Structure 1
Amino acid sequence: MTAVQAPGRTPGRPVVPLWWGVDAVPDSFGPCVVTVGVFDGVHRGHRRLIDHARAVGRERGLPVVLLTFDPHPARVLGVDRDTAVLTTVDRRAELAAAAGVDAVCVLRFTAGLAARTPDEFARDVLARGLGAAAVVVGANFTFGARAAGDVTTLATLGTGFGFTTHVVPLLRVVDAPCSSTHARRCIRSGRLDAAARSLGRPHRVDGARRGDVVRPEPGTALPPPGRYHGLVDGRAADVEVLPDGQVRIVAAAGDRPSPDGPVSVVFAGDGGALR
């Protein structure tokens, strides 16, 4: 098990546990409220799910666990769909912690997991693995082999396995779905302002810096090649997205950061692109 410090939390305060797989959940961990999804981007719609889960948790006096998957299920299943990464797993966990969850559980999405029936997933992962007393999902949630289960299936299975099911309507922003797919589409087309509205914050890319070049995590969602305003490790900077998917730091306010190591690049929203 690892632990994630939520952004903005006072050092020394408790951190949020990050469990890789249900086998990592401590035996002493009791009943909980689970919210399930990929949660890539932890966008405004995702935070609505988290808020609802927290409300259920407060009502029942239970902790909230965010259950996510890595890699993206569509990538493993070979679905023809854009799965460019909006947030790494660690960043996802940080944002979830900042939104108020008590723990994060990551399931490795494999062919074996994909082959589980809805009944097996509800029983082995939700009921037995996490001890779910309540499960909170979005209205478009599907699960199990060939996505055979939906929210109605989940509610039926929950009755047998001892958890209640809570379905949260999808959030819409400016007449467009508030979804990871929409955010990726906006980023790919350079509409960073629209992406920021969907995400609830400017898009951030994490990677490794060598000199003035940042190498993002493989498969990261990036805007089109060109120069943009933004922040590099919190400092105002102009950056250039290169055709090969790397990001070059063109100019930064004050002293430049040390040449090597992990770095975050935040792309500005409205007016972010330099014309």
Structure 2
Amino acid sequence: MSAPAITRLWRGVEEVPAGWGPCVVTLGVFDGLHRSHARLVERAVRTGRTRGLPVVLVTFDPHPARVVGRPRDTAALTTVERRAVCVLPFTPDLAQLSPGAFVERVLVGALRAAAVVVGANFTFGRRGAGDPALLRGFGNGYGFTVEAVALLHEVEALCSSTYVRERLRAGDVRAASRALGRPHRVDGIACGRALDVAEGTALPAPGRYVARVDGARRTTVEVTPCGRVLVGAEGPASVEFLDLAGPS
């Protein structure tokens, strides 16, 4: 039996259809959908196919670090529309849920999870008190299985969103692409030569880059010191950063 395809974006558990489930849930911030994230998604899809169940990718918006914890770089590497089926608004109230309350409200009550796939470093609940071992204990009680998947490594660093942001800040878009498994992509609206992107979007360091605009042939774009992307186009556009360009 094949699992049905789900394409609608649910913003909050309130939008999950009544009577939904059972399903396979993969859960995380997924802020870059890099190769480690892809590994989680692939594992969840494989589990869904084996069990004949739909797969739901659940993420949070805004990034939890913008609401709790120490300030750090959380520049967006991709939009929620490109990375999730269910987006949980990360509010102070959600941050205060205990691990047990989070499991009961989201995984059991709303999604009726039959299986959950997370990263080995996944934490959840108030002050990140929950981890895969605790989640597995809840699963034993509620009747869902839990699989924790190890992160990949890129050279000598974890394949992580933090690593991708570091490479982008250094202008090393090729290393960022290796970790992502694809070129870093930025979407926006071009007016004149400048691409208007959402606030908080991760951009490479100022400089000139070889890029594809809207999937067309390679061209050169420029990221300015004030964070503008000069593309020389008009209207909606997406830019894929491929490599540094030589001097003009």
- TM-score, length-normalised on structure 2? 0.93
State how many pairs are aligned: 242
Task: Report % sequence identity.
Answer: 57
Structure 2 distance, partners of 1:66, 1:209, is 30
- Deviation of the 1:81 alpha carbon: 1.7
Letter in 2 for 1:242: T
CA RMSD of aligned residues (A): 1.4
- Deviation of the 1:233 alpha carbon: 1.3
Change (3 A) 1:131 1:219: same
Are 1:233 and 2:203 matched, yes or no? no
Whether the 8 Å contact between 1:202 and 1:267 is mirrored in structure 2 is: yes
Match of 2:25 in 1: 34
- Deviation of the 1:84 alpha carbon: 0.7
Are 1:24 and 2:15 matched, yes or no? yes
Match of 2:122 in 1: 141
1:77 counterpart SS class:
coil
Are 1:60 and 2:41 matched, yes or no? no
Tell me which of 121, 128, 132 is aligned to 1:151.
132
- Deviation of the 1:149 alpha carbon: 0.6
Match of 2:231 in 1: 249
Structure 2's unaligned 5+ residue stretches are none
Structure 2 distance, partners of 1:274, 1:218, is 28
Whether the 8 Å contact between 2:35 and 2:179 is mirrored in structure 1 is: yes
- Deviation of the 1:108 alpha carbon: 0.5
Whether the 8 Å contact between 1:227 and 1:239 is mirrored in structure 2 is: yes
Tell me which of 68, 88, 92 is aligned to 1:77.
68
Are 1:131 and 2:112 matched, yes or no? yes
Structure 1's unaligned 5+ residue stretches are 1-13, 94-103, 251-256
Structure 2 distance, partners of 1:224, 1:126, is 39
Q: How does 1:1-275 map to 2 (within 5 A)?
A: 16-93=7-84, 104-235=85-216, 236-249=218-231, 257=233, 259=234, 261-269=235-243, 272-275=244-247
- TM-score, length-normalised on structure 1? 0.84
Structure 1 segments (4+ residues) deviating >6 Å: none
